[in-house]
Amino acid sequence: MFAIMGGLIKLVSVDTPTELIVFFRNFFGFLLILPFILKRGLRHLATEIPRWHLARALFGLAAMYSFFYSINHIPLAESVLLSYTTPLFAPFLAYLILKEAISVRLIFAVILGFVGVVFLLNPDFRAFSWASLVALSSGLFASAAMTSIRKMSTSEPAIRIVFYYGFICTAVSAVPVLLIEQWPGVNILMTLLAVGAFATLGQYCLTKAYSMANVAQVGPFVYSTVVFASIIAWLFWQEIPSLFTGFGIFLVIIAGTLALRQTPVAGNGQ
């Protein structure tokens, strides 16, 4: 689901501003989940920690802007993988915010992962792209969003977190859209509707999986997104990873899998 979402974003990003893509991804996604939330009743939405809902939404929104921007400027598989570096940043944020200890194994996994990131960023810098750093920042922002969820999870049910995330992201991302003079046609709007649908379905599948098994079992399969994104990129844009990129992808996936077995923070902010 997430790989298809990335492919659709790459398809429309050539002629569509990132601000518009982010807004419609949130707007259509929020519309899809709204009936389920209303069915549960508005009384479930009362919260005593609005600042954490705001933090989770803003970090998630920053991750989304960064990821969607990078998709149009670097190969799809590379953009997806750099945005999935969440487990590499998560231990440090969990230590700073949640006061969770960091094991030696986790430190090794993080170091290994960032070695892979260096290969992804092209160590000779001849093909270096700032968009790669933007994609990497998406992983950092997504990690901050996931850490915020961990902070709230002791008192906030999932339905409440999902509602405020969708509502705040839609409201905030609507502001820059007001400055856009030319709106997309029907075909692009339908594609953006599909972006929101696949993103929401992907999040549902991921949430359902985590409800059936622990992070260590489910987390590694998150990286299947990179495999599917590579296939989509090869089929539609003839994007083939270089040797450096391929080796970097391998290291980051191994490191991310190891890190996921050591920390309960997983997923992404898209």
Q: Note down pLDDT in tens along the chain; length 270 residues.
A: 999 999 999 999 888 899 999 999 899 888 888 888 888 777 778 888 889 999 999 999 999 999 999 998 888 988 988 888 888 887 788 778 777 777 788 788 888 888 888 777 765 555 567 888 899 999 999 888 888 887 887 788 877 888 899 999 999 999 999 888 778 888 998 999 899 889 888 887 877 776 677 666 676 778 888 889 989 999 999 988 778 778 888 888 888 888 776 655 445 556
Name 27's Cβ contacts closer than 8 Å, sequence gap at least 6. 170, 173, 174, 196
Name 200's Cβ contacts closer than 8 Å, sequence gap at least 6. 28, 29, 32, 33
Residue 70 sits in which domain range?
A: 2-260
Query: 219 with 87: CB under 8 angstroms?
Result: yes
The conformation of residue 42, written as its DSSP 8-state character, comes to: G
Q: Is 60 helix (H, G, I), strand (E, B) or coil?
A: helix
> Is residue 243 a part of any domain in this protein?
yes
Helix 224-237 / helix 2-12 crossing angle, nearest 10 deg: 30
Supply the pLDDT for residue 262: 64
In one-letter notation, the amino acid at residue 85 is T
Supply the pLDDT for residue 22: 93
> Is residue 270 a part of any domain in this protein?
no
> Is residue 168 a part of any domain in this protein?
yes
> Is residue 173 a part of any domain in this protein?
yes
Euclidean distance between CA atoms 227 and 224, whole angstroms: 5
Euclidean distance between CA atoms 180 and 254, whole angstroms: 42
- Burial pattern 66-104, b for ≥16 Cβ within 10 A else e, equals bbbbbbbebbbbbbbbbbbbbbbbbbbbbeeeeebeeee
Supply the pLDDT for residue 264: 53
Measure Cα distances from 113 to 97, 133, 259 in Å. 22, 15, 9
Supply the pLDDT for residue 65: 95
Query: 173 with 23: CB under 8 angstroms?
Result: yes
Euclidean distance between CA atoms 119 and 116, whole angstroms: 5
Supply the pLDDT for residue 9: 94
The conformation of residue 219, written as its DSSP 8-state character, comes to: G
> Is residue 269 a part of any domain in this protein?
no
> Is residue 10 a part of any domain in this protein?
yes
Supply the pLDDT for residue 57: 93
> Is residue 265 a part of any domain in this protein?
no
Assigned token pair, 37: 């939330």
Euclidean distance between CA atoms 13 and 109, whole angstroms: 34
Q: Could you give the number of structural domains in the chain?
A: 1
What predicted TM-score, i.e. pTM, was given to this entire model? 0.85
Supply the pLDDT for residue 270: 60
- CA-based nearest residue to 259, from 205, 222, 209: 222
